[in-house]
Chains A and B, each alone.
Chain A
Amino acid sequence: MYGWRGKVLRVDLTKGELRDEELNAKVARDYIGGRGLGIYFLNRDLDPRGDPLSTENMLVMATGPLTGTSTPTGSRYMVMTKGPLTGALTCSNSGGQFPKELKQAGLDAIVFTGRAAKPVYLWINKSQAELRSAEHLWGKMVPETTGALLNETDPRAKVACIGPAGEKLVLFAAIMNDNDRAAGRSGVGTVMGSKNLKAVVVRGQGSVPVADEDRFKEVHNRVMTKFKEAAKAHPSPLSQHGTIGVMTPIVQKYGVFPTKNWQQGTFDGWQAIHGETLTEKYLVKTRACWACPVSCARVTKVEEAGFEGEGEGPEYETAYALGALCMVDNLAAVTKANYLCNELGLDTISTGATIACAMELYDRGYLSEEQAGGPVDWGDARRLVELTRMIGLREAFGDELAEGSYRLAARYGHPELAMVSKRLEMPGYDPRGLQAQGLAYATSPIGGSHCRAHMAYCEMVGIPELIDPHEWKGKARLVKLWQDVFSIIDSTGLCMFFSARNLVRPELEILPDGILEYLNAVTGADYTLEELVKAGERTLNAERMFLVKAGFSRKDDMLPRRLTHGPLREGPAKGKVCHLEEMLDEYYQERGWTKDGIPTASKLKELGLA
């Protein structure tokens, strides 16, 4: 096989046994890899009704056929499991260097089952793999863990690990790789912690074999020449100021910058947490993942008293959640809280959103100072940093926050104040002023995520074409098409930032011609465009069937009432709500699902899932 390595490592943590499973060629072709391969394994081997923190849950780390090749942004892997925060499927994606190292070690995926009796880590040294004790690492922060593991294995190895948050089963713990990259969302790190698996360390060798080197070079030269010419004409804003510099002013001007736990769509302090401010005050250098020509990551250093530190971040979603949502306009504090999230192994979106939820509960008098162990005021920068640390260590009130917004708000009698979809805190784009993004949140297989279809591209910035963000009619078709293409991006091992701009047809349907060219050059599998698009749709439907078996249906494809019945009170989207119910009817029809959101027998048959 080319592109694929043909091997899946199965790790039974209960028995401490490792064995190789051959990757079936038809499965690889039908599901591609990454996210597709992940759902294939979960549907095959896991009962979707089980408890996410039980021994029975599985954790899949899967690369795509383009991961580790020179395909631009071919740096990604996907972590899939049943999520403890949501009870839904979860897939969380990360780049950096760890995923390509897995491929270089000859692996397409690792499937973990069971639970180790004592803390362990998996050490993969080229073609050899073993479980080793991690008792000496338990309790250590991510940078200490990573450093210690590189010392005791190979300094050139790459590490993915959990911090104290994952060990203590904070429900939104992340898996951190290469220190600062995160598979952050919906508790993949929690599942790792529940399995007593502290880390995966991998050292590969050689490069990923490509089927047709000449064809690859031809495609690559064409794509990169175009990209470099554009970059020469205009410096890339994403490289210059990161996602925080690109998105912050845009969401502010559209009035869709979720602020004060989604009570507002604009934030007066936005300029203080803008990427240009970050560049000016704290940027040390930029950093790129494997094979990435963009370099959106920010390496920063803060020297202000009380917020000292250095590391990566913040990106836009972090500035939104730890900043605007909590009304914190202190960039040093936001950056410090980001460092803590990375060190403790926490998802920054859910961390910020849960603190914002606590702030609203406190503001409305539903949560007392005594219950919270002190005031939880809007905009309190020091408290933000303190609470972030307390969440990661489950200390005092942090123990309640560690359960996420939904459980926190429900505990204090006001679940409606949890700004979640399928109990997952939503990213920083308000669906009242971005109708398609609202539908994408509600129908995302993992809950409130922008990574399963980032509709802001067409609703706000005109990639590939600008559409009216306030119109809901006709959006369902677009969301369906974008979800299918994002599923291909996630399955091949690419990053959405580059792919959605440079490797799809410049039409609203964003057909993945560029991805197809790379995929065929790398794998030699001669996919047709139709077959590739169908593979994206297959994965979406396979994920939906996992959810259906776990008890999910239309009733769960929901947004908080604040977004569907509480019009924005200020800004350009004033008076707007998200027309979710109307869009859902259209969406299920586009998908070939019943009105209750269940894939029909004929749709499943068409996709080979029956």
Chain B
Amino acid sequence: MIVKVQLWSYLNKYAPDGQKTFNLEFGPEANIGLLLSTLGIPPEEQKVVLVNGRQAKDDTPLADGDEVVIFPPVAGG
């Protein structure tokens, strides 16, 4: 399966070649935990993970075509 990934703000340092949006390919039964370890994002890094706009945890399964957005906890408004 192929998922589209975006890493925002300073978390972009984990993106391959610093790309803003990139694709990652996984075998079946991949989940967010696998995606985070593939990118080398340590568990202690504070972050919000969204899969298709819904909050996700490590065990959230991934499906082909999913959009994953990861950003640091920061707010304004």
Give me the interface of A with B, judged by CB distance under 8 Å: 234-238, 240, 242-243, 246-247, 249-250, 253-255, 296, 315-317, 427-429, 450, 454, 456-457, 460-463, 466, 468-469, 497, 500-501, 571-573
Contact = CB atoms under 8 A, between A and B. Distances in A.
Contact of B73 (A428, A429, A461): A461
B69 A461 contact: no
B77 to A, nearest CB: 5
Contact of B75 (A246, A254, A315, A573): A246
Contacts of B46: 462
B72 A250 contact: no
B76 A236 contact: no
A461 B10 contact: no
A572 B74 contact: no
Given A242-B76, A247-B77, A456-B75, A461 B48 contact: yes
Contacts of B52: 572
Given A237-B74, A243-B76, A500-B75, 6 more contacts: A246-B77, A254-B53, A315-B76, A456-B77, A461-B48, A573-B53
B52 to A, nearest CB: 6
A38 to B, nearest CB: 23
B75 to A, nearest CB: 5
A249 B8 contact: yes
A253 B50 contact: yes
Contacts of B72: 234, 237
13 contacts: A234-B72, A240-B9, A243-B76, A246-B75, A253-B53, A316-B76, A316-B77, A429-B77, A454-B75, A463-B73, A463-B74, A466-B55, A468-B55
B48 A466 contact: yes
A494 B10 CA distance: 27
Contacts of A249: 8, 71
Interface string B1-33: 000000011100000000000000000000000
Interface of B: 8-10, 46, 48, 50, 52-55, 69, 71-77
Contact of B50 (A235, A237, A254, A296): A254
Which 9 pairs across A and B sit closest by C-beta, in order of nearness? A572-B53, A243-B76, A234-B10, A462-B73, A237-B9, A461-B75, A246-B76, A237-B74, A247-B77
A243 B54 CA distance: 22
B53 A247 contact: no
Contacts of B73: 461-463, 466
A285 to B, nearest CB: 18
Contacts of A456: 75, 77
B44 to A, nearest CB: 12
A462 B72 CA distance: 9
Contacts of A468: 55
B77 A428 contact: yes
Contacts of B69: 253
A249 B54 CA distance: 14
Given A253-B69, A254-B50, A460-B48, A247 B55 contact: no
A188 B44 CA distance: 45
A461 B50 CA distance: 11
B77 A450 contact: yes
Contacts of B55: 466, 468-469
B77 A317 contact: yes
B59 to A, nearest CB: 15
Nearest to B46: A462
A460 B74 CA distance: 10
Contacts of A315: 76
Contact of A497 (B53, B71, B76): B76
A461 B76 CA distance: 10
A242 B76 CA distance: 8
B74 A238 contact: yes
Contact of B54 (A316, A462, A572): A572
A315 B76 CA distance: 9
Contacts of A242: 76
Contacts of A238: 74, 76
A483 B30 CA distance: 41
Contacts of B75: 246-247, 454, 456-457, 460-461, 463, 497, 500-501
B70 to A, nearest CB: 11
A235 B10 contact: yes
A427 B77 contact: yes
A247 B9 CA distance: 12
A572 B10 CA distance: 25
A454 B77 CA distance: 9
A235 B72 CA distance: 11
A565 B77 CA distance: 26
A315 B53 CA distance: 23
Nearest to B9: A237
A235 B74 CA distance: 11
B10 A237 contact: yes
B36 to A, nearest CB: 15
Contact of B76 (A255, A296, A429): A296
Nearest to A462: B73
Nearest to A316: B77
A596 B75 CA distance: 34
A312 to B, nearest CB: 15
